[in-house]
Structures are given as structure tokens and as C-alpha cells.
Structure 1
């Protein structure tokens, strides 16, 4: 870490001693190269709307003596051959065709959503909505973050955002939708979906919009697997997705809606819907893996896959390949409505496609210290995890609702682990070696009144209080693993006789039994809703695996941990 900051200071010193960074340059159209912190309530913050024209000023030349930010993107021959095989253009982002803004280390670790208008970008990283000035290059400004309040409601974990006209919409994992008025700089609650309503387990994983400017909003639901478009006045329409898929993202142009999902074989599909009917004329032929994001425009449907290493440009009517972009480590991107401007974001970096002269170092701002839960490298380990429940389990649950980050409407909170549903009393085993640091050997089942009091407190607060969350875990065992993570085994019906605080356990050793303790279902039955709830945390740090990540990214991390 010290070496990284030393390199940063040397590079920054050279730049400041030589010149002032240039303004944003006017991008060239893709068609030329392609083959066929919440503000104080009431404060006025004037930001440009999404419909303002792109500035047309000429770029200021950069002296050749200025030490610009350095980056690399070695040629991926296989990716290049894929483009050739599909008769598509191959675009390798390099300093000679793309600009780079380098921010202070820790400015943003792993952004998962990005939107832009003429002069401003909005980035979602670590649950924070950041405003980035694309003209003056000032440090990122927090507009919203976990722990803030919107109309008295606690913001928990924003998962996606979208620019719709003069508003920035932000989707919380709880299902709530916040709207930020760009003209006056005030947050409002547009939709409240935190409590149990018509359904008790709805989980919206992505937010989209009509890039043609109708004001239509889009949401993608993974528990019941449907896509939905809706307007602020309550008009809405939805359509079902295939039962076995995992929804990833959604975007639209007019009445054409593009939906991205992952299939059981871990490839991904892009489907085009019009008036809720799927159009079979749109049939992409390229294999998509590790999908992340989709943005539909008038001239191209862009899909980010290969965990951010590749961006595909598809023809909007047929899905034919137009271009393959090889990326230098990107986790999200944005495109304008026409599709001729691309902005891409990775760790502490913004890339400006077709603006090679647009380079600068952006200093200052609020820094997030390491480790961060949405830094996927934090969760890498040399240990192979054994399944904590044996039997017919040979894969993770196919339901995102049973994964970390899902909403829990009954307590107005967020799920922080994986659920393994199996019969009550089924043995539970340690996934990897470690030492027991907590075992609730004196656990007593609470009364119905105790559950009612906890729920009343949650409703009054609008979220799950920390003490209540521990209450809902019931009988549990915590193990400090040899890889430094803390595994929590929750809802147990029993704990093995040789397990107590300080006990060393081996991988595969039985430590307890599946149960339903702590679950509201336990009030009337000791077997209803029996399952193992398994969480992974960083030792002594209040962050869990899955926090601030896309559901598909969390799933891939867990698949890697439990792979043989």
C-alpha cells in the first residue's frame, strides 16, 4: 500500500509541475470506425439535465512533456479472433484511442452502475451515489450513501441507478426507489416497497429506463422472474421471464426492452421484448459469459460481459455483432442515447472512448480505506470450501432471494448469507478449518410476544436494528477460519457436544444440526422453514460477502469458493 501511494505522489507531482489538465473533448461517432453525501434538505444544487447537448468546444492540446496517467491493456488474441469470426470490428482500448482520468486510490473500488449526461456522471460504488464533474474534474461528491435518510427512511444498500429526464433514480435492495431532482438537488421517495405487500419476497435486482426519453422506468425482478415497466403515475405492465434463468439487467429504447439473464449452463442470453412479447428476430450468436450490464441505444445494444473485460456492440434489430471492445479492467459503463459516446469505469478510473487527449489526475475527495466488501479480491482464498450440508447439494441455490444481499421484507432489512434448505435435524459441517469464537449453547426459544416486540421496533425504525438481527439468527456458531474469514452457521436446532468457544474444528467436521431457530416460523413449529443460513464476514470488520455487489457477482464469488 505504501508503494502504491508513493507511485501516486510521484506521478501527481510531475503532472502538477508541468501543466493544467484539458477539458473534456468532443467524442467522434462510433459509426466512423465500426463496420456495418446527501445534500441538506432544501439546498439548491443545479445540475445539467440528461437532455442538454454535448459541448462542442475544441480540446485543449496537451504538451508532450506532461506525464499522463499510465495504463495497459495487452492484446487478447482470442477476443480479437472472436470479433473476426463474427465479422465485427475489434476495438482494443489503448491510450492512443481513449482518455483516462485517474482518481486518488480508494476513491471508488468497484462501481456497479454509471450514468452520464452532458457534463456530469453519476457512479454507484460501495452503496454510495457519487457525482463526477466531467468538465472541471473535481473530486467525486457523495450525493447519497447507506445511513442517509430520504423522507425519514433509512437508506440501506443502493443496488442500481438510472437517469430519467431531470431525475436520478436509485434502487435500494429493499425495493425502495429514491429520486433526486437534478434542478433543485433534493431527494424524494418515489416508491416504497420495503414492507410485505402483495408479495412477501419480491427482489428487484436492476433498474433501467427508456433511453428514447418517454420517462418510462424499468425494473427486473428475480424472485418471481419478471420484467416490468412503469411510470410515476402508477401505470405499469410486466411480463414473465423463463423460470430457470437468473435475471441480470434490463434496458430499453421506446417500446423495445432488452433483458439480460444468465442460463443454468452459466452462459447468458439477451432477449428483446416489445409490448411484453419476445421478438425472435433478435438472435445474437455470440456466447456471453459472466454478464454484468446491458445498455440499449438507437444504434447499438451494448453488453458488458467476461466480468468487465469485454464490451459487445450488437445491432438493435437483429442482434448481429457490430464490434468487440477489449477493456482494461472495467466494472460498469454508460452510453448516450444515440450510442456514439462511451464512458467506462473501473477502480479509481474513468475511461473516455475516442478521446485520447482527455487525460488527467483528479486529486482529493473522500477515500474509502481497505478492505472494502465490494473489492472482489478481498474474498479470494486458497482454501476450497466443502458443502456445509451434505446430501443432494451439488450447487448453490438457484434463487437469488436465498443469497446474500436479498431483501427481507418481514423485518425491513437485508439478508446477509446463503440459505441451504434441507430437513430439520440434518447434520451441519464446517466448510473449512478454523476455531470456534461463538457458540450459543444456552439458547432458549423466544416466545411469540418476543417476536412481536422485535417486529414492532423494526416497523417503528423502518429497518432491522442490529440487536434484532442477531435475535433472528437464533442458535448459531461462529468460526474464525484459517483464511481469515468468519463463518456464521445460523438457525441451528442443535450444537455438537464437543463444540464450544475455543474449539478447533476441521473441514467437514459436524458442528450442529439444521433448524429454524430465530425464524418467525419457529413460533408455531420447530420444523417449518428449517434451513441452514451461512454467512461469511471479514474478521473484526462489519462487512459481509455480497455487500454492495451485483447479485451475479456474489453468486460467482460463492461458486468459486465452493468449486471442487
Structure 2
């Protein structure tokens, strides 16, 4: 059910007119990005092209819906009566990321793979991934976000590499490989957007937005070189000439939405939105007067006026268990991705069965939130820890550009979590368990050995598991049962009584913070002291196939179930 806001008549008429232009603008798309360099061949026929499909097939004629603008006002309760649903088979899409629609097919990311869902009755979905997970010489490192220019898809992995996929030809390409011009601090890329022939990348590490390609009077950095501090909390990005950044809540400020104006990149001080635990931002790049933001952990969608962020509509499912994971406007309707289904508003109350796209088995899903929600609570591994570090680069799932890898733990440096951590700080067992590894005999590498390992990672453009283990330095692993293991890494030392096979209690000292396995440790200094703490669930690091904002909220619940002390 929806109700019209009490807008002045001329304002409502203008809003209706602008939003009616949106579907046509979305169909036009933008020019495709420049072809990838010949050094990175795109001729990898990993999948057949997806045929163009016709949405909303119905057996009998139905009256047309009212214009979408009149339905995106006031309060809207989404129900089986006013939506259509594309229902996938059980287990086919339990944890989707994002949503993009090209030529009648919806695309999402699930379990690090691209999933295609034709928008037609009794269709068959498919998972697309290049052979052996490679595009040219590059191995994809966990796809996590996607966008479209209207013709092609652009996909971001956790290392920071950007890949292209052309639905018409089924070809993959490497659009922008991450390089090592910026390694300290680590760049972190939670979101991307495509506009006017360029890819835009949100980088929370450098608090910047990068453009690709650049040159001919266009800088790589969109914002001033020093960046914008609030972008350290960025989780979403949209571009239509102006640039919009969705912010999570944090120690340094509340959740919100920023707008930067055109070529000047000047912040719009009058642009502000009231959001709660946001997760997703969408705007059509070619027109319309609406921004869509999903917040309240996926249980509310706000339609905001693009020019002012003024609220236009609030949408939520009558079934409060439905979590919205992505949104997209296409051909005059609103599409919403959820675990296991796509919903369309407005709809006829129909359900379309979608076969295929089976992913990993439930027991093979490290992103199973029901499983992860049952963990803990833990005590922090460092006494006095007050909150999680604000820097996304310290979380599991962030890039490690110096070795072209993906970080698998939480880094705790002095001053980043409300407590100092000098060399030798006691490290505590977060829960009771049995020690299964304790590296008492660890010998530090020489700097030449360390550099040789990193050089091999650079050559491969990834970090092999055996090299990653050596770069962790001195370690203690504790098995807590039921597939849960915690790892304590870069230790300076280990108490004599902590040996493999012994039981330890929650809060017991099991090591001392250091820098073993790092370049500083190889140099023999105490610089760079920190604890690298990993949670491993059923053999996978906590954070695999999850976005950084999801990892942050999981860790906050594990360590601070009642809020920060």
C-alpha cells in the first residue's frame, strides 16, 4: 500500500516527469569503456552469451501499472500481492551481492562468482566464471561488487582488480589490474561505478575516488590529492556526472550520503540523508531524480530526491525476514535482490520458477550468516580493546597490494582500537580450546628471504598459501571445536606451557605481540608491532565472500555483543 506525499502540485508534476524519463535513459546506457590492453587478452570463451529475454510474460492481458513515480512516494509495504518474484531453487543464491540488469538478464555476485538470471517465466539461471578462475595471466581474487554501463558488466575483486564481462559475446577481460604505485597505506576498494566511458573506484584507504582510464586532461584522482576524511567510511558509490558516496556509521561520524559536484568535485554542504546501518546505494547514471539506499541492515529501502536527498518514499517488506541486498530500476520497475529470489515492484503477484545456478553446498559456504551468527561471543585478544579499528585495510577481506593478496585477519596496532600495543604485549585466548600449533622453534627470515617471497607473489599476482604461511611469522592456533579455529600471528614469543595438544582457558596468555614474518621483523627491529588475529570457520577465513561492512559488523558482535565498552 502506498500514500502520496503532500507535495506542492508543481513539484509533484516535475518529479513525475523526471522519473518517467528514467527507464528510457537506463536503456540507452553509456559508451563502452576503452578496450583492454593487448597485454591482457580478453578472448576467454568462459561462457556462452546470454540471450535477450522478455520480462514479465503473462498468460492473459493485464492493465498497465500506474507510473512508477506515483508508486515511489510515501510508505510502501511490499507484499506478495503487489510484487512479482523470480524464485530460485533452494541454495542457489543464499548470499547475493549487488544487482545489475543488461538486456533482460539480471546479474549478481554470489560465492565469488557471477550469476545470471534471465527475467522470464520458467527460465534457467547460470553461474559464469572464467576457466580456472583466470583472465589472461591473472587469477580472480574473490569477486565482491559489480556495476554496468548499460552494455557490459564490470566486476571488482577483493585484491582491487577490475574485470569486464560482455553478456553479448560471453567474453571476459581485464579492465584495470591493481598495481603497486600505492602500497602504504593499503588501498581498499569496496565499490565501483561506471559513467561516461570510465570506471570510478571508491578507495577508503586513500579516501579517494580513482578514475580509469585517465589522461587527456582527466586526472586519475577525482578528489583533491589529500582525499576526503569521511571517505574512510565509504561503502557505496554512484556517479551521474556528480559523485555520490554512501557512508557507514563509525567512530568518526554517523552513517550518511555525500555528494560531490561535477568536474569541480566540490562537496555539496546542503546534501544530507538520515540513514541507519546502510548497506547499498543505487542511482541510474543517465537520468531520473531518485537515489535508492538500502539501510537498516537490508530491511528498509529509501527513495531520495537526487538533488537534495529529501526523502520521497520508504519501502519495506511485510515479511520482515526478507533482506534486500541490491536494487536496480529497469523498464519502469524496481528490482530487488534478496537471498534466494528477485522481487519486482510493482508486480502482478506472480511467481516465476528459476532453475539452475546451484552454488557451493551449505556446508561449503563460509558466508552462511546463520552459521556465523552462532559464533562467540569472544573476549578481545588484547586486554582493554575498546572498538574495532576504523581503517578498513585492517579488516579481513581487504587487499594486501605489496604481495597481491587478500588479508585474512584483523590487524590490531597500537592506537587503532583504543589501546596501546607495544612489543611484547600479552595476547589472550579469545575462548577456551585446544592448542593445535605453537611455533616455539620459529626462526626469523632474513630480509633477502622475505623480499624473495614477496617477489614471487608479485610475479604470480597472488599469494600462494605456503608463502602466506611463512609471512605470518610465529603463530599459535587454537581449535575451539565445531569447525572453529583462531590464529594469533606475528608473535614475538610464546609461553613455554603453550604447546600443541594442551588445553587453554579463555583469557589465558598464549603469546606476545610482535612483528615476526614482516619486513620489519626481518630487519631485526620492533617497528610495525601488531597482532594479526584470524577466525577460521570450517577451513575458511571469517570474511570470505563477505563485504567489508558485513565483516565489521560480525566482528563487532563477536567482541562487543552489547556495544563498545
**What TM-score do you get using the length of structure 1 for normalisation?**
0.81
Cα-to-partner distance string for 1:113-139 (whole Å, 9 max, x where unaligned): 110134101111111111111125433
Q: Give the Cα–Cα distance (whole angstroms) in 2 for the partners of residues 350 and 387 of structure 1.
A: 39
In the other structure, the counterpart of 1:473 is: 472
How many Å separate the matches in 2 of 1:553 and 1:531? Answer: 23
Question: Following the alignment from structure 1 to structure 2, what is the Cα–Cα distance between the partners of residues 382 and 467?
Answer: 28
**Alpha carbons 1:111, 1:124 under 8 Å: kept:** yes
Q: Tell me by how many angstroms 1:48 deviates.
A: 6.7
1:54-88 CA distance string (max 9 Å, x none): 9587622499xxxxxxxxxxxxxxxxxxxxxxx95
Q: Is residue 126 of structure 2 the alignment partner of residue 151 of structure 1?
A: no
- Is the Cα–Cα contact under 8 Å of residues 179 and 190 in structure 1 kept in the other structure? yes
Which residue of the other structure, out of 360, 367, 375, is the alignment partner of 1:368? 360
Output one character per residue of 1:364-411: Cα deviation in whole Å (capped at 9) or x when no partner.
Answer: 3433211312222221236321111124x2001111001000111111
2:202 maps to 220
Counterparts in 2 of 1:176 and 1:137: CA distance versus 1, 3 Å: farther
Matched residue SS, 1:546: coil
Aligned 1:120-139 pairs, distance under 5 A: 120-139=105-124
Task: Report the Cα distance in structure 2 between the residues aligned to 1:267 and 1:96, rounded to whole angstroms.
Answer: 36
Q: Tell me if the contact between 1:30 and 1:341 (Cα under 8 Å) persists in the aligned partners.
A: no
Q: How many Å apart are 1:183 and its aligned residue?
A: 2.8
- Distance in 1, Cα, partners of 2:502 & 2:46: 56
Structural mapping, 1:105-124, within 5 Å: 105-124=90-109
Contact 2:446 2:523 in 1 (8 A): no
Identify the match of residue 41 of structure 1 among 44, 52, 65: 44
Asked if the contact 1:43/1:184 (under 8 Å) is kept, the reply is no
In structure 2, runs of 5+ residues without a counterpart are 1-15, 21-41, 63-71, 414-420
- Check conservation: 2:328, 2:335, Cα contact below 8 A: yes
Q: Which moved more, 1:362-371 or 1:313-322?
A: 362-371
Give 2:505's aligned residue: 506
Match for residue 264 of structure 1? Answer: 250
2:149 to 158, 161, 164: 164
8 Å Cα contact 2:83-2:348 kept in structure 1? yes
Matched, 1:251 2:256: no
How far apart, CA to CA, are the structure 2 residues paired with 1:385 and 1:526?
A: 31
Partner residue of 1:281?
Answer: 270
Deviation for aligned residue 1:326: 0.6
Matched, 1:238 2:222: yes
- Alpha-carbon spacing, 1:152–1:304, altered in 2? closer, same or farther (3 Å): same
* Aligned counterparts of 1:59 and 1:29: Cα–Cα separation in 2: 28
State yes or no: 1:292 paired with 2:279: yes
Counterpart residue number, 1:20: none
Aligned to 2:380: 387
Name the SS of the counterpart of 2:169 in structure 1: coil
Deviations 1:534-558 (A, max 9, x none): 00011xx331111111111110000
Q: Secondary structure at the match of 1:179?
A: strand
Match of 2:5 in 1: none
By how many angstroms is 1:196 displaced? 5.0
Which residue number in structure 1 is paired with residue 58 of structure 2? 59
Question: Which of the residues 170, 190, 214 maps onto 1:205?
Answer: 190
Conserved in 1, the CA contact under 8 Å of 2:246 and 2:256? yes
Partners of 2:473 and 2:491 within 8 A in 1: yes
**1:333 alignment counterpart:** 326
**1:560 equivalent in structure 2:** 557
List per-residue Cα deviations over 1:430-453 (Å, max 9, x = no partner).
111111111112111122332233
C-alpha distance in 2, partners of 1:426/1:183? 57
Kept after mapping to 1: 8 A contact 2:108/2:115: yes
Q: Secondary structure at the match of 1:410?
A: helix
Q: Structure 1 residues 417, 363: CA separation in 2 closer, same or farther (over 3 Å shift)?
A: same
Segment of structure 1 superposing worse, 256-265 or 108-117: 256-265
Rounded to whole Å, the distance in 1 between the matches of 2:444 and 2:221 is 44
Using the alignment, how far apart are the partners of 1:58 and 1:560 within structure 2?
A: 44
Question: 1:436 is matched with which residue?
Answer: 435
TM-aligned CA distance change 1:296 to 1:57, over 3 Å: closer
Say which SS state the counterpart of residue 322 (structure 1) adopts: strand
Alignment correspondent of 1:460 = 459
1:508-523 mapped onto 2 (5 Å cutoff): 508-523=507-522
Superposition pairs of residues 87-102 of structure 1, within 5 angstroms: 89-102=74-87
Q: How many residues align?
A: 495
Rate the CA distance shift 1:198–1:454 in 2: closer, same or farther, 3 A: closer
Aligned equivalents of 1:251, 1:261: Cα separation in 2: 12
Note if 1:424 corresponds to 2:423. Answer: yes
The 2-side partners of 1:48 and 1:281 are apart by: 44
In structure 2, relative to structure 1, the CA distance for the partners of 1:331 and 1:147 (3 Å cut) is farther
Structure 1: gaps spanning 5 or more residues: 1-27, 33-38, 64-86
Q: Please tell me whether the aligned partners of residues 492 and 512 of structure 1 are also in contact (alpha carbons under 8 angstroms).
A: yes
Contact 2:46 2:128 in 1 (8 A): no
Name the CA shift for 1:531/1:332 in 2 (closer, same or farther; >3 Å): same
CA shift, 1:190, in A, is 1.0
Q: Could you say which residue in structure 2 is the equivalent of 1:542?
A: 539
Bigger shift: residues 181-190 or 407-416: 181-190
- Indicate the residue corresponding to 1:312 in structure 2: 302
The whole-number CA distance in structure 2 between the counterparts of 1:394 and 1:136 is 52
Instruction: Give the Å deviation of 1:300.
Output: 1.0
d(CA) in 2 for partners of 1:247 and 1:179? 23
Say whether the 8 Å CA contact 1:416–1:546 is kept in structure 2. Answer: yes
Distance across 2 between alignment mates of 1:256 and 1:92: 31
1:351 aligns with 2:343: yes
1:200 touches 1:410 (CA, 8 Å); kept in 2?
Answer: no
2:57, 2:121 within 8 Å by CA — same for their partners in 1?
A: no
